[in-house]
Amino acid sequence: MELRQLRYFLSVADERSFVSAANKLFISRQAISKAISQLESELNVELFMRDSNGAFLTPAGVLFYERVRVLVTEADNLSTEMQRYGTRFNQHIRLAFSIGATSLFEPKLLEYRDTQMNLDIQYQESPQELCLQRLQEHKVDMIVTPMLLKDSLFVSSKLMESPLGLLLQWGHTLSELTEVELSDLQWIPLAVHADHFSAEQFQSWSLHFQYQGYDFHRLFHLVKQGLCGMILPQCFTQDLPQGLKWIPIVDAPAWALYKTYPRTAEKNHLYSAALDELHIKIFRDVSQLGGAQ
């Protein structure tokens, strides 16, 4: 049974005529008649009743028609879908970065993407809760976030650890120190990036954060105005505005960044290879910078 024969069968059934079907398909009547006869012989059943008025489906032909129509439609849809990929294989990877994390990897990511002919990398930046939601809804393939996912459906691996420090205005009382302790920070107003730390961490440190937000420029402006200090991982200190100083916090737990993707991706060798390549070419190199491990 060939797809060509099935198409011929559908055409004869729709036209109710071997001649009309042959004309529509631009083939001879003998060719279409032979194909249908071979099909009937293979199935060991008559599909058409033939008389001077045309060709009409038998009861077996009606049942066969319903199934064949579905099969041929699926085959056509599959062919159309495959044509979208063109003649060259392309792998598509969609990334979502927690707000702020993009800046760590974007230069390397753009540099790497420009060298890849068959790898299309798309990325976006969102709050970490939205990153997780998009991953669960299969709208992205991987997220990069400070949040560790322990869900069995996902694979999380640590990308980097970065020491924590206090960002201050030069001239602040603490700015002359070379290091500070968490207990030193209980009496000054503090700011924190909303995507970097959880409420549980705030409570365990016994610190009160007066300012929280997603906009680094606004938070840096508050610090520069002397309104507060800011808890900041060292990896974000590469391009600090002038007038600000970063001081390491003694014995503070390191800030961690993770990459997470669906566990089912491990079974897709092409997908896994693309993720491994991203890790080697982008994440590993960047993770060794900015005080990261």
Strand partners, 54: 51
Are 55 and 103 within one domain? no
Q: What angle do CA 160, 209, 98 make, to 5 degrees?
A: 35
Greater confidence, 117 or 10? 10
Are 236 and 209 within one domain? yes
93 in Cβ contact with 122 (< 8 Å): yes
CATH code at 282?
Answer: 3.40.190.10
Residues 6+ apart with CB under 8 A from 188: 174, 228, 229
- Give the separation between CA 212 and CA 190, rounded to whole angstroms: 9
pLDDT digits (tens, 9 = 90+) for 121-144: 899 999 989 999 999 998 999 999
Question: How confident is the model at residue 54, as a pLDDT?
Answer: 82
Question: How confident is the model at residue 83, as a pLDDT?
Answer: 67
pLDDT digits (tens, 9 = 90+) for 165-202: 999 999 888 889 999 998 888 888 999 998 888 767 77
Are 34 and 175 within one domain? no
Strand partners, 207: none
Question: How confident is the model at residue 293, as a pLDDT?
Answer: 38
Question: How confident is the model at residue 223, as a pLDDT?
Answer: 92
Q: Is residue 292 in a domain?
A: no
* Number of domains into which the chain is organized: 3
- Give the separation between CA 257 and CA 254, rounded to whole angstroms: 10
How would residue 287 be classed by pLDDT, with cut points 50, 70 and 90?
low
* Owning domain of residue 65: 3-83
pLDDT at 283 exceeding the cut of 90: no
Are 120 and 240 within one domain? no
Domain final residue, candidates 28, 49, 83: 83
CATH code at 59?
Answer: 1.10.10.10
Greater confidence, 118 or 287? 118
How would residue 291 be classed by pLDDT, with cut points 50, 70 and 90?
very low
Strand partners, 145: 258
Are 77 and 17 within one domain? yes
